[in-house]
Structure 1
Amino acid sequence: MPHHVQSGKAIFAIKANFILLPIAMIVLSIVVMYFYNLDKIYNQIKMTNKEN
């Protein structure tokens, strides 16, 4: 139905899905990458791959 005004809840849901949710996922990814210290376990992973 064209030309219908969206409710405030609908506008918030659209903004959340296209703006807020991606920003939250990016921030979460950055936090996870910050605490996942690959440098400490890199040599162990490398040795495990050589054995297989």
Structure 2
Amino acid sequence: RACAAAITLDTPGANYRTVWALSKYFPNVKTFVRAHDVDHGLNLEKAGATA
């Protein structure tokens, strides 16, 4: 089983949906995601991003 996921999509909305789905269906998997700016990073954290 995976213990972490790295998400590096170009589209901010796709990043958000991916992080949200991973945190909902796989809450024990840490998600590392690339944010486009500070506001995007804060939204990703709200969606469940770990780092």
Normalized against structure 1, the TM-score is what? 0.31
Which has the larger share of helix? Answer: 1
